[in-house]
Every structure is written in structure tokens, then in C-alpha cells.
Amino acid sequence: MTITLAVDCMGGDHGPAVTVPAVLEFLRHDHACAAILVGRESALTPLLRHTEEALAGRWSIQHASEVVDMHDPVATALRVKKDSSLRVMADLVKEGRADGAVSAGNTGALMAVSRFVLKTLPGIDRPAIATALPTLRGHSYVLDLGANVDCEPEHLLQFGIMGAMLAAALEHKERPTVGLLNIGEEDIKGNETVKRAAELLKESGLNFIGNVEGDGIYMGAADVIVCDGFVGNVALKTSEGLARMISTFLREEFARNPLTRLAGLAALPVLKAFKTRVDPRRYNGASLLGLKGVVVKSHGSADGFAFRHALQQAAEAARQKLPEKIAARMASVPIAPTLCD
Amino acid sequence: MTITLAVDCMGGDHGPAVTVPAVLEFLRHDHACAAILVGRESALTPLLRHTEEALAGRWSIQHASEVVDMHDPVATALRVKKDSSLRVMADLVKEGRADGAVSAGNTGALMAVSRFVLKTLPGIDRPAIATALPTLRGHSYVLDLGANVDCEPEHLLQFGIMGAMLAAALEHKERPTVGLLNIGEEDIKGNETVKRAAELLKESGLNFIGNVEGDGIYMGAADVIVCDGFVGNVALKTSEGLARMISTFLREEFARNPLTRLAGLAALPVLKAFKTRVDPRRYNGASLLGLKGVVVKSHGSADGFAFRHALQQAAEAARQKLPEKIAARMASVPIAPTLCD
């Protein structure tokens, strides 16, 4: 079965110059996929002119006259720019013409438009954003990363279920372990919300391993780490800042004098191997979970390599029918009816 | 004026074997300080037998028959072990026999005992824990790190004031910048608590620069970063985990084969210089702020070098009369009276 992705080619810092070649490269590698490139026809056509015959029939252009800017308020994306590449992309999934969607655009607008067009799955109050992070043992999925700043225990339970389904789909793990981010491993730690969430997760039938502290994320303490969007966003951004500081310091130390520069030259292959191992581009692609459709958000600054990774992730989630699996799992868990909005 | 520190020599993973030599080394370097070594006399005396004459009169032993274990519940520290080194240490500050206290013991117990014995400053609802972290530009102070898991906006304001006073005292900065940890830089971001806290901080007279995202901590976005204890604890522990993962990966890459090991040898001086720059031991010592007395918590696993850093920090805070300065600053800020507990 061919998986067709709708790709918002206008989003991100670089727009079509990066997204279009990335889509073609993706199609060259994944022969079971097709792509609908969404955006201004005049911007996309020139970049597709010399595409090889072998890809013919596996890509098409869907014109969209508008673009949601990085700084557009959510209301503009929802109510004003109704022919934006973001909106047209979501519509393609809604209409069943695409199996999944990928965009490097404005996160808030992507979430709002996706939620408005696709709707949430039964039993899911709020969609969440999840990404993979490298760990000592491989990688883990962390959610939520900023979609939900105030969470009830039931939301954290839903994140746990969605995260476990995501890890199962993308990692082919049957019973991924789920941990709850907290400020101590003991049951008595944390605020009332996480304490109650821990109880719900224990009763959920998930492979729940209990509380995980911040360092557990990178130690690989669990396949899935659940937290509210405020905490998850801070953890992710703090990590980005620390990684940037460490790499700046390393560069500075190696650039200090001719001798250290020589040492840097000797160490270059090793430093490169290290860099590859933690390359954030390999982790590009955050899944918007809980929607009736597969939607993946690429980092705005993604280059072609990184954007392709987001495309691969969307294709795999669609192939595994992730939304259907989440819905099925939700149906088996009793959820307080008062929470449904 | 001599600053006298009361030191809980029994706390931490290593106990007197590390703390006693660290205190002596501290006294050798800071001639304007004295120390009261608190703990079991039989454990301390042997380690002090060969202390040089030059230090005579600047140290003494205060016997305490009990020790609070790392796993003792707070209630035990408060109500059962009334002759613990932790308690006796706090009593020495209370009685005015010491100007500050340092312990590497159980954080929860240290906070509870300090609060019980010393009491909080007028206007402070809850003490907070603050530490310095390295940044691209120097270092920043982050608080709270776990003492308060549920915070009202007024608490975040109090943290901002205490953090600014701490940075002023230890860094000799007149108007340290204060940032509020949030999930976006715009005013509309975040939950209701941080939005209201931003308003209070704006009106506080502090050098408030607005919201700071997680990466801003290590970019040096502000001298002081304010957050609730849950978020701060997760940010700190996540950083510890990431740093550990990165150093493990680097070590593994350099150990891969004889060639990479050779490159590692060449790069050794550079890697050492780098390591010194981010050495967490240089940042050891978290301040318990908002108490009527100076209390510094050392990491439990601190070695002598790290423990000495905590002692230096306590001495400087005492010399600068940090609690008095916080009290004076609090008196000039209107605080909702309903919040005082």
C-alpha cells in the first residue's frame, strides 16, 4: 500500500528551497511513498522542473495561495488565511487524499489548524506534542512539549497512552515502558497532579515504571516520559541551551592556540563521530498526537536531512495506523466523562 | 570581623573523612573565618589530631550524638533526632554562635530543620533553594530548585527578590537582571501563574527583563532565573543527565580503537581545560534563601574541593549579611497579606 504525505512546503525558515528537494530525496529512498507538495505553485514548480522520470506519478502539487507566517497569531491561521499551505495540507488528510501531514511552520498555528480540521480522537481531551530524544540506551519519547501548559492527572494519563502507542509504532516495541517525570522517585514526591497521575497510570494497563527524575530522560529510564507541556518545554529547551553551551566551550578550547588547534585536528574524526551520535537532525519531527490523522511538526530551522527525517516519521506513523491504534487503546481505558470538552 | 561557620560534618555520602579536611583547607585559605565542626566527637577528633598550630583558636568541635540519614523522613529529623548534627548546627546559628551553616545532608531534612529552628524572614512565605549554573557569559542563579512544588505568583516574586539579593551579595552586582522561566518570550505565553508573576515582577522595582526560555539559562539571558520548584528541579536534573550522557558518549568515542585513543591523548589538555570550565564542583553549594540565617546545602557526593566551595559561599553570604538584605528588600515590596502562612 502506498502512503501519501501532504507536505506544507512553505513553512519553516527556508521554505521550498529546503522542503522540495527533501521531499524528492525522501521519495527516492522510500519507494512505497508518494507526496502532495502544498504551496504556491509559482514557488514550487521551478524546483520540480528537472525531477527525474523515475519519480513521476509519485508527486503532485496542490496549490495554496497563502502562507502562515511564524509570527501570525493562531486566529489568523484559523480564520483569515483559509487558503494557507498549512490549512490545505490538513484538508488533504481530512479528505482522505493523504495519509499524513508534515509542516515546518508555526507550531501554535499547526496545532490549532490540525485540531480544527481533523478533530481529536474519541477520549482525547487535548492533543499533545511528542519527540524522541537520544539517551544512553537508544532513545526515548517525551510528551507533552508545550501544547498543554496546565494539565489534569487524566491528561497525563492520556499522554502516557498516546506516547506508548507512538513508541510501539515507531520502535516496534510491544510494551514500551512509561515513566512519569517528577522531582523524586518516591511515590510521595511531587505535586498533587503528578501523584494522582501516577495512580491512574498504575491502573492503566500500560507498562508503567513509576516516577522518573529529569536525569532519567537521558539515562534512558523509560521508553516514554510523560509530563505537562510547561515542564516538557522547559526540559527540552534547557537541554538545547546546555548542548549549545557545551559545544561552544569545546570549540573555544580547541581554538585557543596553535597547539590546541592541532589537537583538534587529531581529534576531528572522533568529534565528528560524537556529533553524529547526538545530531538533533536525526531526531527532527515532533508528532502531534491525539488527532484523527497523522501530523508531524518539523523544526523551523530544519535542513534537508532533518526535514527528510520528519517525513520518514510521518510515513511510518501512517503506515502503522497510529491514530487508529491510539483510539482503540483509549476505548479500553475508563476516562472520567466530565473531562471531555 | 571573623565569620564563624557551623558545619555539619556528618552529612553527605562521605561524612567526616571529606568534610573535616575540607573545613581545615578552607580555614587555611580564608583567614577571616572560623568553624565549629558539628558531629560525633569520636568521629571528628582523630581527623583533627595533627592540625597545625596556625589554625588553633579558629576551629572547635561541637558534639552531636545523632546523625540524620539520607533516607530519614523529615519527621524523624524534626521530632526524633533532636541531637543530630543537622539540628545542633542550626541551633548554633539561631543562638548567634555561628554566622552561617553548611551541610551535605538530606535536603528535605535540612530545609525542615532550618525552617523550624531559624524561622522565615518577615514577608517570606516559603524559603527557596538557589544554585549557580555556568552560562556562556559567566553564571546565573536559578531558583526554586525543589523546595516548593506548587507556587503562587507572589511566591515567584519573592524568589525573584531573594535571587536578586543573592546575586548582588555573591557577585557584587548592583542591579542583577531577573528573568522568569517560561515557554516563550512573549507576554501571552505560559500558564496563569507565570503570567501574573510577570506582572508582579514588572512592578517590583527589580531589574526584570521578562520571560526567559529554557535555553536562556545557559545562554546567560539573566543573572537570576525564577521558576517554581518542580520546573527548576526538572531543569537542573535534566541538565545533569544530559551532561552525563554527553561525557559518556565522548569517552566512548575516544576509547573506540587505538587511533581514537591516540587522538584522545593529543586532545587531553584541551578536554581537561573544558572539563574545568564546566566542573560542577565549582558550583557546589545551594543556598536556602528566606531564612533568618545563612544555610548552604552541599551536594551529598561532594569531594573536599566541592565542599570547600560550599563553605566559601556560606562565608560570603554571611559576610554580606544576605538575610538582613533580603528582609530589608522585602519590607519595601507590598505583599498580599493573605499569603503569609
pLDDT digits (tens, 9 = 90+) for B26-68: 999 999 999 999 999 999 999 999 999 999 999 999 999 999 9
Provide the domain limits for residue A160.
Answer: 125-282
> Are the beta carbons of A139 and A218 closer than 8 angstroms?
no
A40 and A100 share a domain?
yes
Query: Is residue A327 domain-resident?
Result: no
State the CB neighbour count (10 A cutoff) for residue A75.
Answer: 10
Does position B187 have pLDDT exceeding 80, yes or no?
A: no
Query: Is residue B77 domain-resident?
Result: yes
Does position B339 have pLDDT exceeding 60, yes or no?
A: no
B 84-143 → A contacts, CB under 8 A:
134-136
The C-alpha atoms of residue B91 and residue B98 are separated, in whole angstroms, by 9
State the CB neighbour count (10 A cutoff) for residue A185.
Answer: 13
User: B150 at the A interface (CB within 8 A)?
Assistant: yes
Burial classification of residue A186, based on how many CB atoms lie within 10 Å of its CB (0-12 exposed, 13-18 middle, 19 or more buried)? exposed
User: B270 at the A interface (CB within 8 A)?
Assistant: yes
The answer to whether A149 contacts B191, with C-beta atoms less than 8 Å apart, is yes
Chain pair A-B, CB pairs under 8 angstroms: 175
Instruction: Tell me what pLDDT residue B150 has.
Output: 86
Cell numbers that stand for B286 in this block: 545551594
Closest Cα in chain A to B279: A246
Q: 3-state class of B134 per DSSP? A: strand
Does position B338 have pLDDT exceeding 50, yes or no?
A: no
Does position A307 have pLDDT exceeding 50, yes or no?
A: yes
User: B255 at the A interface (CB within 8 A)?
Assistant: no
Q: Which of A191, A217, A248 sits opposite B230 (nearest CB)?
A: A191
Instruction: Tell me what pLDDT residue B1 has.
Output: 83
The C-alpha atoms of residue A117 and residue A87 are separated, in whole angstroms, by 8
User: What average pLDDT does this structure show over A154-159?
Assistant: 96
A39 and A49 share a domain?
yes
A3 and A149 share a domain?
no
The C-alpha atoms of residue A120 and residue A302 are separated, in whole angstroms, by 27
- pLDDT grade, residue A339 (50/70/90)? very low
Query: Is residue B301 domain-resident?
Result: yes
A162 and A262 share a domain?
yes
Query: Is residue A225 domain-resident?
Result: yes
Q: What was the ipTM of the complex prediction?
A: 0.90
A161 and A267 share a domain?
yes
B191 and B268 share a domain?
yes
User: B203 at the A interface (CB within 8 A)?
Assistant: no
Q: For the whole prediction, is pTM greater than 0.80?
A: yes
B99 and B174 share a domain?
no
CA angle A324, A121, A178 (to 5 degrees): 70
User: What average pLDDT does this structure show over A87-111?
Assistant: 96
Query: Is residue A328 domain-resident?
Result: no
Location of C-alpha cell 539520607: B70
User: What average pLDDT does this structure show over A258-283?
Assistant: 89
User: What average pLDDT does this structure show over A134-139?
Assistant: 92
- Structural domain count of chain B: 2
Does position A338 have pLDDT exceeding 60, yes or no?
A: no
Residue type, A192: E
Query: Is residue B327 domain-resident?
Result: no
Average per-residue pLDDT in chain B? 93
Location of C-alpha cell 584522545: B264
A32 and A160 share a domain?
no
B231 and B317 share a domain?
no
- pLDDT grade, residue B188 (50/70/90)? confident
Instruction: Tell me what pLDDT residue B184 has.
Output: 84
Instruction: Tell me what pLDDT residue B336 has.
Output: 47
Query: Is residue A196 domain-resident?
Result: yes
- pLDDT grade, residue B115 (50/70/90)? very high
Does position A285 have pLDDT exceeding 90, yes or no?
A: yes
B204 and B78 share a domain?
no
In chain A, residues with a C-beta closer than 8 Å to the C-beta of B273 are 253, 256
The C-alpha atoms of residue A112 and residue B211 are separated, in whole angstroms, by 23
The answer to whether B238 contacts A238, with C-beta atoms less than 8 Å apart, is yes
Cell numbers that stand for B287 in this block: 543556598
Query: Is residue B326 domain-resident?
Result: no
pLDDT digits (tens, 9 = 90+) for A228-251: 999 999 999 999 999 999 999 999
Does position A196 have pLDDT exceeding 50, yes or no?
A: yes
A231 and A152 share a domain?
yes
Strands A100-103, A294-297: parallel, antiparallel or unpaired by DSSP? parallel
Taking the CA of residue A234 and the nearest CA in chain B, the distance in Å comes to 5
> Looking at residue A161, which CATH number applies to its domain?
3.40.718.10
Instruction: Tell me what pLDDT residue B232 has.
Output: 96
In chain B, residues with a C-beta closer than 8 Å to the C-beta of A229 are 183
In chain B, residues with a C-beta closer than 8 Å to the C-beta of A243 are 242, 246
Taking the CA of residue B260 and the nearest CA in chain A, the distance in Å comes to 6
B157 and B274 share a domain?
yes
pLDDT digits (tens, 9 = 90+) for B264-275: 888 898 999 988
